[in-house]
């Protein structure tokens, strides 16, 4: 069973503040108080404890394995991503990794948390209910405090795209941060779904945070045979079998599947190390392609720049914007 530390919830919940925009406020933020939760790891099935702690300005999101004394801190950055099979895994030294970070990262992004220490006593973040909502609740219970430093924003100056087969992910210039996604499954329950979410005025919490991860029964059986997905259940995964949703309560949104893909993308994009001012679009994309997109972005300095969140967008540097996309064909690169 997933459990959030009730000893601190009652006195902290009044400090919760609604999300406005992923590009606001101007100042960096960290947590006001330390918060803890306990849950099941999706793949190992083990009980895991996770603690969120305030961090100084310009710290970023730092994961720490408390079960391995002396292990190095792991910054949640795109270049520390070491595996993208089934989830996003980060690590900076051999044998010390933390996986399934994407839902927590999505909640941190959606709530505007710039700096935080994430202590985990195992190799995997607890899956909770399979969405970002429990982590949003945890953050709201902790409350947020402004810090004496401006938020840094990654402004997209020209389009960058990565492709492999029929899968695609791209970032294009925009005044706001938005995420669009398209999926296409043979299952009649999922089928073709598309959505575009502009991350302002609380849309992350209202339209994205509650969307759960999903899978098909035949995939669940394959994962368990391989020693994975041992913590998965109808309590934390939407399971589909024979074109039916097995969860008794059904879906939280009619298009919950594509909304969860948006949730994953928000979390994976936050490994950029800052808020993104630009529009993301994914077509049949996943953790791997989004990480490859960030690698392609940072490999091309003319495609982006850092700005402080109160900087005037009419500066001369904005002249770098062009209509020419940087396209990387991953199939060709790997061939």
* 133-190 pLDDT tens trace: 999 999 999 999 999 999 999 999 999 999 999 999 999 999 999 999 999 998 999 9
Which residue's structure tokens are 């500066």? 315
Residues facing residue 30 across a β-bridge: 115, 145
The rounded percent of the chain whose pLDDT value lies above 90 is 73
CATH number of 153-334: 3.30.1700.10
**227 pLDDT band (50/70/90 cuts)?**
low
Mapped onto helix, strand or coil, the DSSP state of residue 245 is strand
pLDDT confidence of residue 219: 79
54, 32 contact by CB (below 8 A): yes
pLDDT confidence of residue 10: 28
Domain map of the chain by residue range? 3-151, 153-334
Look at residues 85, 124, 101 and name the one whose alpha carbon lies nearest to residue 231: 124
Per-residue pLDDT tens digits for 235-264: 999 999 988 999 999 999 999 999 999 999
13 has pLDDT over 50: no
pLDDT confidence of residue 223: 72
Look at residues 86, 87, 130 and name the one whose alpha carbon lies nearest to residue 260: 130
For 236-308, where are the E strands, in sequence order?
A: 238-241, 244-245, 275-277, 279-283, 304-308
pLDDT confidence of residue 233: 87
Reply yes or no on whether 43 is catalytic: no
pLDDT confidence of residue 261: 98
> Which candidate in 43, 103, 260, 287 is catalytic?
287
Predicted TM-score (pTM) of this structure: 0.86
Beta-carbon contacts of 75 under 8 Å, excluding residues fewer than 6 positions away, are 60, 61, 62, 63, 90, 92, 273
Mean pLDDT of all residues in 64-75:
97
Beta-carbon contacts of 264 under 8 Å, excluding residues fewer than 6 positions away, are 102, 103, 106, 286, 287, 290
Rounded Cα distance between 242 and 188, Å, is 9
Decide which of 3.30.230.20, 3.40.50.880, 3.30.465.10, 3.30.200.210 is the CATH code for 3-151.
3.30.230.20
Q: In the predicted model, what is the mean pLDDT of the chain?
A: 86
For residues 187 and 49, which has the higher predicted lDDT (pLDDT)?
A: 49
Per-residue pLDDT tens digits for 252-299: 999 999 999 999 999 999 999 999 999 999 999 999 999 999 999 999
The rounded percent of the chain whose pLDDT value lies above 70 is 83
Per-residue pLDDT tens digits for 97-128: 999 999 999 999 999 999 999 999 999 999 99
pLDDT confidence of residue 11: 28
């Amino acid at each position: 069973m997933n459990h959030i530390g009730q000893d601190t919830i009652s006195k902290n919940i009044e400090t919760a503040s609604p999300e406005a925009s992923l590009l606001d406020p101007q100042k960096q933020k960290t947590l006001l108080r330390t918060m803890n939760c306990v849950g099941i790891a999706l793949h190992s099935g083990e009980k895991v404890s996770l603690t969120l702690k305030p961090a100084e300005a310009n710290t970023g999101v730092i994961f720490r394995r408390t079960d391995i004394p002396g292990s190095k801190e792991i910054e949640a950055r795109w270049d520390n991503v070491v595996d993208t099979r089934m989830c996003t895994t980060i690590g900076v030294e051999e044998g010390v990794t933390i996986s399934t970070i994407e839902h927590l990262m999505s909640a941190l992004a959606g709530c505007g948390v710039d700096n935080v220490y994430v202590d985990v006593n195992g190799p995997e973040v607890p899956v909770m209910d399979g969405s970002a909502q429990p982590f949003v609740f945890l953050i709201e219970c902790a409350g947020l405090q402004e810090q004496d430093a401006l938020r840094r924003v990654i402004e997209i100056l020209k389009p960058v795209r990565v492709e492999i087969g029929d899968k695609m992910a791209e970032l294009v210039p925009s005044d706001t941060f938005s995420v669009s996604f398209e999926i296409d499954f043979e299952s009649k329950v999922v089928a073709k779904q598309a959505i575009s979410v502009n991350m302002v005025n609380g849309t992350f919490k209202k339209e994205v945070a509650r969307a759960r991860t999903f899978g098909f029964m035949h995939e669940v059986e394959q994962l368990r045979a391989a020693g994975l997905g041992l913590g998965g259940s109808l309590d934390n995964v939407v399971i589909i079998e024979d074109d039916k949703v097995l969860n008794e309560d059904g879906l939280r949104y009619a298009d919950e599947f594509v909304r969860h893909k948006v949730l994953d993308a928000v979390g994976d994009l936050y490994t950029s190390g800052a808020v993104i001012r630009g529009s993301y679009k994914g077509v049949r994309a996943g953790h791997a392609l989004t990480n490859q997109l960030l690698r392609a972005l940072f490999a091309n300095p003319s495609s982006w720049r850092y700005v402080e969140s109160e900087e005037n967008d009419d500066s001369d540097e904005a002249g770098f914007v062009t209509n020419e996309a940087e396209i990387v064909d991953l199939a060709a690169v790997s061939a």
